[in-house]
A and B are shown apart, each in its own frame.
Chain A
């Protein structure tokens, strides 16, 4: 019974993993990756680790993959276009490395033991939530606390990376309808010191500040 479950879920995991690499659309890759996560969660259940299986489904298939799919949707990623590799001389090296990798996998697979030699499935509390909590808060308390600091750093880092610069720098000038340019790009003769900061956000307000206001109503009527 367990062998049948192992074969089913291992096959699902390997198939979905190959699909992750083979798909050209990142969204399909993400869906396949969720399949890998769920089949691995089923394998964790057969390994008597129900807590890890639940966390796998909730954190990986739930939180992380939702974040990835959200970013894929946000960035409107299209399919990868086939482009010529820029370093074509590396192709023979890649073939050689792939051969070494396949040889290593074959070596590992050849040493798989098919006969039963270790009795498992004892009645124990390993894998239950209480034993994991006990271990986490007694022996491994320091890694647990360090993990919390890591999460705090990740939050701050993600906010810093994803933040947009709101205010213009004093050396920038807004050209209406165009992008923000540095002042000496627009006019190299202008001294850099007498420019005031423009603390507004929209193009219309910038036009008012610069005194180059257009008649927007007539433009909209046209």
Chain B
């Protein structure tokens, strides 16, 4: 017996759910950021699983581009986090609830 496609999809769904729960539960900006990365990885697992089971390389190209977007998101997001911390001396999202630095 080999692992089925639905196993990977179920694992991806579980990881994505944990990521969503983390974004909802956490109050620290950096922790929420890491939960978003977790969700991106869950979607990546779906892409790779489909690419492997359908013998199509397109899914892996999607993963490549998703990783690039995640890297760009990390750079800009951490810049925003540093700017917020510099202005508010806090990383709590409740302290940054108005759209004004």
Write the residues of chain A forming the contact surface with B, with a CB cutoff of 8 angstroms. Answer: 2-3, 6, 10, 13-14, 17-18, 20-21, 26, 29-30, 33, 36-37, 40, 43-44, 46-49, 51-52, 55-56, 59-60, 63-64, 67-68, 71-72, 74-75, 77, 80, 83, 86, 94, 98, 101, 105, 108-109, 111-114, 116-118, 120-122, 124, 126-127, 131-132, 135-136, 140, 143-144, 147, 150-151, 153-155, 157-158, 160-162
Contacts and interface: CB of A to CB of B under 8 A. Distances in A.
Contacts, number: 211
| Most chain A beta carbons < 10 A, residue from B5, B48, B51, B80 | B48
Given A71-B78, A158-B75, A13 B11 contact: yes
Contact of B48 (A52, A68, A117, A162): A52
A105 B86 CA distance: 40
A162 B83 contact: yes
Nearest to A30: B34
Contact of A46 (B3, B15, B71): B3
Contact of A52 (B3, B63, B72, B85): B63
Contacts of A2: 2-3
Contact of A80 (B28, B41, B64, B72): B28
A126 to B, nearest CB: 5
